[in-house]
Amino acid sequence: MGRHQPLPEERDVRFGPGADDDGCPILHVDMDAFYASVELRRRPELRGRPVIVGGLGPRGVVSAASYEARKFGVRSAMPMARARRACPHAVYLPPDFEAYSAASRTVMAMFRDVTPLVEPLSVDEAFLDVSGAVRLFGPPTGIAQRLRSRVQAEMGLTCSVGVAPNKFLAKLASTRAKPDGMLVVPRAMVFDFLHPLPVGALWGVGERTAEALRRLGLTLVGDVAQAPAATLRRALGEAVGRHVYELSWGRDPRRVVTDSVEKSIGAETTFDLDVTEPDLLRRALLALSDKASRRLRAAAMVGRTVALKVRFDDFSTVSRSRTLPVPTDVTREVFETAWSLYTILRDSVGSRPVRLIGVRVEGLLGADGQPRQLTLGEPDKGWREADQATDAVAARFGVAALRPASLLRPRDAGMTGRKPGGERDLRSTAQEGPEGGRIEE
């Protein structure tokens, strides 16, 4: 279920903390307005005021909004310009992803103290299977209550929890429990909970699919459940029709998966103003390559393929990729490949204004045991060791403590001159999706 599909906010006592949780081993824990809440934790003087986190440039989007800001219609993924019009008196803050990641690691560790079966979906939400933990910690509702209390006491943050027989129902329940609540879907009351909801509550049903269902006269989940399965397949296609029909009856066989394999790692940036200068684009690609490579090394992974993404001023988007002879996690190798792809693209399409640029490493493998082939004349030690030293400095003093010289702003390098527009153009708009989930990064 996408977060863009709102659900009714009223809470039914039949699904409260005292409901029967027998046969409900799945918890979905969702932090409340996570980015905004982390900011409020270190800025307590802002509590009670509308706070909006996101890209502050003209092309920025909202990453998270406090519940005070949501009363004015501000939502995640909304253009920041629209949010400013809706809530001009709000406090606007740039995102601090390092702080959010650190808070996320602490919260996820709390979850793993209860059960090893934790499946993070993003930095601010996860599924837990507590079927093996009930003998130690009591029933699922008790586990959920203790987790909520611990997160509040130790982190100063609130979360909402759904307790249900499966993942789909648990995620629906946590959404209806927001903010700072818990909702239980007893096995015997699945249809009482599910069937009165609008069709948009079904996971994977977006606006187009919902409109197709409405054309069939199906506005509630219960309507979908009573419709012939063959009708749904004809209207929506075989796979989607079958998927929607199964969910309408509350069926979701997915298990909590603890080891999800990433298929790619990357980063992208949207410029505040369209860029044509090769020097600025080169610096942007270096910064993105550095960011993607650091994430590779942190995950102990290497990748075989480097992909470049370029979106021009007319919103047309082009992708190019190259497979390397040997998998890599070295910043310089990723950057040189990405820059080569861009120069070839520029030679074919010309120096068109660039709105967005991104680097992604694909074909990921575990770094352990991967061969490292030295080219003729290459020193035994070099860029890989430099990356390792940089990572060590960043871990202790922060990412900004040590950067490639070409990414230093003139004042950082002690120079008095400044290339007109350089710093402004290179500074990127935060590209965030619904809170806790980045659109691309």
Listed residue (434, 432, 423) closest to 95, CA to CA? 432
Gap between the Cα atoms of 23 and 101, Å rounded: 33
Alpha helices per DSSP H over 11-96: 34-42, 67-70, 80-86
The tokens for 82 are 């629209």
Q: Which of 125, 268, 333, 435 is catalytic?
A: 125
**Is 313 annotated as a binding-site member?**
no
Active site residue 441: no
Q: Using CA atoms, how far apart are residues 202 and 220, in angstroms rounded to an integer? A: 10
Distance separating alpha carbons of residues 270 and 54, to the nearest angstrom: 13
Q: In what order do the strands lie in the sheet with 51-54?
A: 62-65, 51-54, 91-93
Question: Do 303 and 344 touch, CB atoms closer than 8 A?
Answer: no
Burial class (CB in 10 A: 0-12, 13-18, 19+), 49: middle
Residues 431, 433, 439, 441, CA torsion sign: positive
Buried b (16+ CB within 10 A) or exposed e, 418-437: eeeeeeebbbbbbbbbbbbb
- 337 Ramachandran zone, left/alpha/beta (phi>0; psi -120 to 50): alpha
Q: Is the peptide bond before 179 cis (omega within 30 degrees of 0)?
A: yes
**The CA-based dihedral angle spanning residues 376, 378, 379, 381, taken in that order and rounded to the nearest 10 degrees:** -130
Query: What long-range pairs does 151-158 form, CB within 8 A, spacing at least 24?
Result: 151/31, 151/107, 151/110, 154/106, 154/110, 155/41, 155/103, 155/106, 155/107, 156/41, 157/31, 157/32, 157/34, 157/37, 157/38, 157/41, 157/103, 157/107, 158/31, 158/32, 158/37
124 among annotated binding-site residues: yes
Residue 162: DSSP 8-state: E
Q: Are 327 and 287 in contact (CB under 8 A)?
A: no
- The neighbouring-strand residues paired with 279 are none
Q: Give the helix ranges, DSSP H, for 398-436.
A: 422-426
- Could you tell me where the beta strands, DSSP code E, fall in 171-316? 182-184, 264-275, 301-312
Ramachandran assignment for 271, one of left (phi > 0), alpha (psi -120 to 50 degrees), beta (any other)? beta
Binding site: what residues are annotated?
A: 30, 124
Binding site for Mg(2+): what residues are annotated?
A: 30, 124
State the catalytic residues: 125
